[in-house]
Amino acid sequence: MKIGTLAARNIRILFWAELFGSIRFLQPVLALFYFARGLDESLILWVMIFWSTGVLIGEIPTGMFADRYGAKLSFIIGAILSIISHSLLIWAYDPWLFFSSSILSGLAVTFFSGSDEALIYESLKESNEEDKMDHALGIIQSAQFVVTIGVLIIGSIIAKDLTNNQFNLLIVLGIAFQSVQVGLLFFVQNPSNHGTYQENPFQQVKEGLHAIKKSPQVLWMFLNITLVFIPTAAIFDNFSDKLLSDAGLPVYLIGTVFACLAILSFFISRSIGWMTARISRITLLYATGALGAICLMFVALYRETLWVLLLMMVLLRFIRTVRYPVYAQLANDIIPSHVRATTISLLSIIDSVCDLVIFASISGIAMYGFEKMFLAAAGIALIGSLIPIRADLIRNNNEK
């Protein structure tokens, strides 16, 4: 990418903002934290359901907000809500407090969802570099992997006894670093045509729906992405530390495993441009989707064998790191500029509905144990990976 451009500036700031915002010392022992505070597998999935509910409530209003007032203000509000959400965990001993924290966290995410892609793509357009979207997202995404290398190791060491004081210390440390993210976001600069939409709000949503109707391939691609992501990342990640503990790995080493995965993710993120220059983006989506279903099946059947579990975690991390930036490039090449954030938010509503349906279904299956839960998750990922992506339609839209 070119030096000294608006895109270079915003990508650099968002990299550092993502880095500080990703510092969650509780992350390597999150499932163990839930279990220590009285939740079980089913309630943990309900925490995820409330998170998706927050996303569902906030997606359209926050997407419209970003198109009207710009991504910068949207990011700042989202980061502040994220701090409030994380703070509630200090006092969370009853399910309703976990649910409250989760729904606020989901709402916070919506202030970034769609807005970040819109900001990056429009920034790149100002220097005629919009074809670098997946590369730019890979750079920003790599920030979370840089920081988590140390955070995951420190977090698991501090929480080695799984006491409340240790958990609370992890939460407070996370809040301190997330506060730095808020300050960094003030330096983001909106592109000249971003945050200028002034039409009737209903017209704004109507235009977003029209964009999807005009290019239905965006919807099919999104379903392919989300039905693979939910089981391979959202569900698996919430139980990964518990799986490692059950497979015989000491708690103080869990962070080291996650740190190694973060190093891998960093290099994968930085190599997305290299991969897409050699392999078709559509081929990557199909291949990684099918691989995700296979990995979850192995997790279901061989999760108590530590080396198999570790191998599956490596493959699943590769899958989740590659798929979204590749999809974002294909989708944003089609979505119109003036309602980009709104259109992406409309698609994210579908994601939230899928979250609610899948999490609710899996929570019922989770009562019968990890094996059946992950076999069901593998089936969902397989369905998602088989949703067709029409390369000819994408090319036609790009030419227009």
User: Which residues have C-beta within 8 Å of that of residue 34, sequence separation ≥ 6?
Assistant: 43, 44, 47, 98
User: What is d(CA 273, CA 287) in angstroms, rounded to the nearest whole number?
Assistant: 17
Q: Which of 279, 344, 359 is nearest to 43 (CA)?
A: 359
Exposed/middle/buried for residue 400 (C-beta within 10 Å: 0-12, 13-18, 19+): exposed
Report which of 356, 286, 350, 342 is spatially closest to residue 60, judged by C-alpha positions: 342
From CA 344, how far away is CA 109, in angstroms rounded?
13
> Is the torsion defined by CA of 261, 181, 107, 93 positive or negative?
positive
Spell out the CATH class of 6-186+211-399.
Answer: mainly alpha
Provide the 8-state DSSP code for 279.
S
pLDDT of amino acid 71: 85
Predicted local confidence at residue 394, as pLDDT: 53
Question: Residue 148 has what pLDDT?
Answer: 67
Dihedral of CA atoms 99, 61, 227, 151 in degrees, nearest 10, equals -60
Q: Is the dihedral of CA 368, 237, 352, 82 positive or negative?
A: positive
Instruction: Give the pLDDT score at 399.
Output: 44
pLDDT at position 379 is 95
Q: Which residues fall within 8 angstroms of residue 114, CB to CB, at 6 or more apart?
A: 59, 62, 63, 66, 340, 341, 342, 343, 344, 345, 348
pLDDT at 305: 93
- Mean pLDDT for back-to-back runs of 10 residues, the chain (400 residues): 80 87 83 87 85 84 80 91 94 92 92 80 83 79 70 81 89 92 91 62 70 80 90 87 89 81 84 88 92 96 93 94 86 71 76 83 85 94 88 49
Domain boundaries, the chain: 6-186+211-399
